[in-house]
C-alpha cells in the first residue's frame, strides 16, 4: 500500500521567501507528525496532529513556522521569511493513533535549502 | 527535560563481529523505538519496545529495554555490510506525545 508521501522532495529558496511543504499520510492514519533533521543530526520534533487538531505548538522553532491539517489527511508546514538556519530535511510521519504503541511511519522528507 | 544519549556515535567494524549500541535516557518511559536510516533516505522502523525486559530480534539485530536502568541496547551479531546505516533510538513522552530522539549511531561495516 502507499506510504507517507511528501512534496517537494527538494526545495531551494532565497532567504526571506515563504515556503510550503506538504505531507500526505498513510490512508486511515489519524496522527501526523512533523520533524526537522539537520545535517548529521537526530530528529527535532516540531508538531503533531490528532485529526485536524494540533494541541501543542511549542515545538515549532519560531512564529515564522505554522502547520495545518485539513480533512484529517494532508498537512502543510509553512515557513515564512525563511532564514539560512531553516535549511534542513523536514520529515513527516504518520501513525494509526496518537499512541505510544503505534509505530510512526516516515515519509522520504523534503530537503530545504535556504540561500 | 528528557534527554536521550546514544553511544557510540560512530562505529566502524569488520564483518562477522558482534557489537552493541547503547541508548540511555534521562526520565521515566517504557516506550522506546529503534529506527534505521540509510544515507539520503528516510527512517525505517526496526523495533518497538513497550515494557521493561522487552526483547525483540530480527535477523542479526536484537533490541532490549531495561526501564529501571533507563537503558536500551541494540546488539548486532555477526555483522554484514548490508547493516551499514545510521541507527536512532527514540523515547516516547506520554505527557506530550513526543518522540525524543538520540543523535544516532553511524555504523560502517567493512567487508
Whether the pLDDT of residue A94 is over 80: the answer is: yes
Tell me which of A61 and B93 has the higher pLDDT: A61
pLDDT at B2: 82
The grid coordinates of residue B46 equal: 526496526
| Ramachandran angles phi, psi of A84, nearest 5° | -60, -30
pLDDT at B97: 79
Q: Among partner residues B96, B97, B103, which is closest to A41 by beta-carbon distance?
A: B103
pLDDT at A100: 65
pLDDT at A111: 95
SS3 content of chain A, % helix, strand, coil (to 5): 5, 45, 50
Concatenating the DSSP letter of every residue in B36-53 gives EE-TTS-EEEEEEE-STT
A103 vs B33: CB contact, 8 Å cut-off? yes
State how far the alpha carbon of B41 is from the alpha carbons of A59, A110, B30, B54, in Å: 24, 11, 28, 28
| Ramachandran angles phi, psi of B71, nearest 5° | -140, 135
Q: Among partner residues A44, A45, A91, which is closest to B42 by beta-carbon distance?
A: A91
A103 vs B96: CB contact, 8 Å cut-off? no
pLDDT at B90: 94
As a whole number of angstroms, the distance between CA A93 and CA A76 comes to 13
Reference A17, options A86, A109, A90; nearest CA is A86
Task: Quote the minimal CA–CA distance from A101 to chain B in Å.
Answer: 7
pLDDT at A1: 54
As a whole number of angstroms, the distance between CA A46 and CA B15 comes to 38
The grid coordinates of residue A79 equal: 515557513
State how far the alpha carbon of A51 is from the alpha carbons of A13, A55, A71, in Å: 30, 10, 8
Please report which residue ranges of B7-104 form alpha helices under DSSP H: none
Residues of A with CB under 8 A from a CB of B: 33, 41-45, 48, 50, 56, 59, 91, 93, 98, 100-101, 103-109
Digit-coded pLDDT (tens) for A40-57: 777 899 999 998 888 888
The pLDDT confidence band at residue A58, using thresholds 50, 70 and 90, is confident
Q: Are B37 and B88 in contact (CB under 8 A)?
A: yes
A12-23 average pLDDT score? 97
Q: Is A61 helix (H, G, I), strand (E, B) or coil?
A: coil
Q: Among partner residues A44, A50, A105, which is closest to B45 by beta-carbon distance?
A: A105
Q: What is the mean pLDDT of chain A?
A: 92
Task: Quote the minimal CA–CA distance from A41 to chain B in Å.
Answer: 6
A106 vs B97: CB contact, 8 Å cut-off? no
List chain B pLDDT tens, one digit each, 111 residues: 789 999 999 999 999 999 999 999 998 777 899 999 998 888 999 999 988 888 999 999 999 999 899 999 999 999 999 999 999 999 988 777 788 999 999 999 998
A91 vs B43: CB contact, 8 Å cut-off? yes
pLDDT above 70 as % of chain A = 98
B42 vs A108: CB contact, 8 Å cut-off? yes
B99 vs A109: CB contact, 8 Å cut-off? no
pLDDT at B53: 86
Peptide bond before residue B8 is cis, with ω within 30 degrees of 0: yes
Amino acid at each position: 500500500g502507499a506510504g507517507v508521501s511528501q512534496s517537494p522532495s527538494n526545495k531551494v529558496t532565497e532567504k526571506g521567501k515563504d515556503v510550503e511543504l506538504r505531507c500526505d499520510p498513510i490512508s486511515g492514519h489519524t496522527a501526523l507528525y512533523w520533524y526537522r533533521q539537520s545535517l548529521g543530526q537526530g530528529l527535532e520534533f516540531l508538531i503533531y496532529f490528532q485529526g485536524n487538531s494540533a494541541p501543542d505548538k511549542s515545538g515549532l522553532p519560531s512564529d515564522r513556522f505554522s502547520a495545518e491539517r485539513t480533512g484529517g489527511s494532508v498537512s502543510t508546514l509553512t515557513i515564512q521569511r525563511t532564514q539560512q538556519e531553516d535549511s534542513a530535511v523536514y520529515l513527516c510521519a504518520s501513525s494509526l493513533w496518537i499512541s505510544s504503541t503505534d509505530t510512526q511511519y516516515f515519509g522520504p522528507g523534503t530537503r530545504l535549502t535556504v540561500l | 527535560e528528557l534527554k536521550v544519549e546514544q553511544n557510540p556515535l560512530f562505529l566502524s567494524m569488520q564483518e562477522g563481529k558482534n557489537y552493541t549500541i547503547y541508548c540511555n535516557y534521562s526520565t521515566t518511559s517504557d516506550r522506546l523505538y529503534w529506527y534505521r536510516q540509510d544515507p539520503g533516505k528516510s527512517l525505517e522502523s526496526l523495533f518497538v519496545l513497550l515494557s521493561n525486559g522487552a526483547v525483540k530480534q530480527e535477523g542479526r539485530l536484537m533490541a532490549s529495554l531495561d526501564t529501571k536502568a533507563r537503558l536500551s541496547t541494540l546488539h548486532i551479531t555477526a555483522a554484514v555490510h548490508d547493516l551499514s546505516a545510521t541507527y536512532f533510538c527514540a523515547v516516547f513522552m506520554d505527557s506530550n506525545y513526543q518522540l525524543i530522539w538520540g543523535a544516532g549511531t553511524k555504523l560502517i561495516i567493512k567487508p
